[in-house]
């Protein structure tokens, strides 16, 4: 693993209580990375928030976060990955509010997202620019360093009449804080109140693994097709392999033009199974990954056969997931960290209990019996160092006096 860094700065209400965070990207522990486009920065923040650390871990159980978006990010579909209850869409003051962007803001507002405007300087130009979307806005973050005090008071009064909460940002002194508190601002942010707190996140060498695990969860939760497409598009290699796969399927003669089309053609069940195979066959450096994949597939198929009709899909996934720790040579809790999946599946995978335990034990017993016979028949061909390695890795004591 290597590291990525996010920064989160607290936002406070008029009682001085923590209200939310603003998420910021850092390219290292102390600096801010400058990107050619805000979309890249937003994508980085969101990808690492959604795949490498849980939202609860980052924001607390019920915490919310403001996340910056320009017109490119708003139109990209990346917002579809976010939880409407946990993230506020903060539109940058530089965003181009063309007709497509305004339509998208209306759609996100209708879906339940709260909307904010960043760095509002109270000028006539900015008021004119953002007037078309004010009815969809919940928060306006006023740049108190740029706005003139008298203009600030006048604009704030009109904004609050629209039932929009106003936030004084860039507060750097106690005097400023008291001034804006007295003036009637609802929310407050700035270095005086809280300096951005850097969060160090472990980033897996291959983020595709976590993207696929989240994709599997999204499919099982009946996520929107646009959400599935956004996840798949995050990795060019995944998109390429998926296109290649469907092109190799003889029954699909249609020319593939989009990821959405692939999802529709495949169907969710087949996509799910393809992802599980891809997870095993493509994403591990384990030299025996192919053998592990074949065992996992057989295990999953047998558990599926024995399951009740209503549980067959879950039994299949539980069987496939049961060997992920072996595949990635890691503790299963680390592999599954941040992946919220059906309890029946997690019971088996993480705790070896629940409704699928009996069929899992039966399948595993048959696997061991077969491997035992195979081992005995070929014992003279096996290098003793491989046997020692296997025993040691299983914490089985070897009596050196017997050698």
The CATH number that domain 2-203 falls under is 3.20.20.450
- Among 200, 204, 228, CA closest to 324: 204
β partners of residue 139: 116, 165
Q: In sequence order, what DSSP letters do the residues of 327-343 get, joined into one string?
A: HHTS-HHHHTTT----H
Q: What is the pLDDT of residue 398?
A: 84
Q: What is the pLDDT of residue 19?
A: 97
Tell me: the pLDDT tens digits for 249-286?
Answer: 545 566 555 677 778 877 877 787 777 766 665 555 66
**SS3 of the chain: helix, strand, coil, percent, to 5:** 55, 15, 30
Pairing of strands 65-69, 18-26: parallel
Q: What is the pLDDT of residue 313?
A: 76
Tell me: the pLDDT tens digits for 151-183?
Answer: 888 898 899 999 999 999 999 999 999 999 999
Supply 151's token pair: 């203009």
Helix (H, G, I), strand (E, B) or coil at 347: helix
Phi, psi of 139 (to 5 degrees): -140, 140
Provide the 10 A C-beta neighbour count for residue 96: 12
Measured at the alpha carbon of residue 220, what is the angle toward residues 217 and 242, in degrees to the nearest 5?
Answer: 75
Q: What is the pLDDT of residue 204?
A: 46
Euclidean distance between the first and final Cα of the chain, in Å? Answer: 39
Most confident region among 78-87, 105-114, 382-391 by mean pLDDT: 105-114
Supply 59's token pair: 């924001």
**Cα 226 to the center of its chain, rounded Å:** 15
Pairing of strands 114-120, 165-169: unpaired
Tell me: the pLDDT tens digits for 18-63?
Answer: 999 998 866 555 554 443 345 455 555 555 555 456 677 788 888 9
- Among 11, 70, 2, 60, CA closest to 35: 70
Average per-residue pLDDT for the chain: 80
With 0-12 / 13-18 / 19 or more C-beta atoms within 10 angstroms meaning exposed / middle / buried, residue 382 is exposed
Tell me: the pLDDT tens digits for 292-309?
Answer: 777 887 898 899 899 998
Domain ranges of the chain: 2-203, 208-360, 365-402
Q: Are 337 and 203 in contact (CB under 8 A)?
A: no
Measured at the alpha carbon of residue 326, what is the angle toward residues 386 and 48, in degrees to the nearest 5?
Answer: 135
């Amino acid at each position: 693993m290597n590291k990525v860094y996010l920064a989160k700065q607290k936002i406070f209400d008029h009682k001085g209580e923590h209200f939310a965070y603003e998420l910021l990207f850092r390219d290292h522990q102390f600096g801010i990375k400058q990107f050619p486009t805000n979309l890249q920065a937003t994508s980085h923040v969101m990808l690492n928030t959604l795949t490498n650390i849980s939202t609860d871990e980052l924001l607390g159980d019920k915490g919310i976060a403001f996340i910056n978006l320009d017109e490119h990010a708003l139109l990209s579909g990346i917002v579809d990955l976010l939880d409407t209850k946990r993230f506020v869409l903060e539109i940058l003051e530089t965003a181009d509010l063309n007709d497509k962007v305004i339509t998208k803001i209306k759609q996100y507002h209708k879906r339940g997202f709260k909307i904010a405007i960043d760095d509002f300087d109270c000028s006539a130009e900015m008021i004119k620019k953002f007037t078309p979307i004010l009815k969809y806005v919940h928060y306006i973050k006023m740049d108190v360093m740029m706005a003139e005090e008298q203009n600030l008071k006048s604009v704030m009064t009109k904004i609050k009449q629209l039932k929009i909460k106003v936030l004084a940002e860039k507060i750097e002194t106690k005097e400023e804080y008291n001034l804006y508190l007295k003036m009637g601002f609802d929310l407050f942010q700035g270095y005086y109140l809280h300096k951005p707190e850097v969060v160090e996140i472990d980033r897996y060498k291959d983020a595709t693994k976590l993207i696929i695990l989240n994709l599997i969860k999204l499919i099982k939760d009946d996520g929107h097709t646009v959400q599935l497409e956004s996840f798949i598009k995050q990795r060019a290699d995944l998109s390429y392999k998926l296109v290649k796969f469907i092109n190799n399927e003889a029954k699909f003669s249609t020319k593939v033009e989009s990821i959405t089309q692939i999802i529709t053609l495949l169907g969710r069940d087949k996509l799910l199974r393809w992802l599980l195979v891809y997870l095993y066959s493509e994403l591990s450096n384990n030299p025996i990954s192919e053998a592990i994949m074949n065992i996992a597939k057989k295990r999953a198929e047998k558990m599926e056969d024995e399951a009740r009709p209503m549980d067959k899909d879950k039994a299949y996934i539980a069987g496939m997931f049961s060997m992920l720790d072996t595949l990635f040579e890691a503790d299963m809790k680390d592999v599954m960290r941040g992946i919220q999946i059906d309890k029946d599946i997690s019971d088996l995978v993480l705790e070896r209990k629940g409704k699928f335990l009996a069929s899992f034990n039966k399948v595993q017993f048959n696997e061991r019996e077969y491997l035992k016979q195979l081992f005995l028949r070929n014992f003279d061909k096996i290098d003793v160092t491989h046997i020692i390695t296997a025993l040691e890795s299983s914490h089985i004591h070897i009596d050196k006096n017997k050698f």
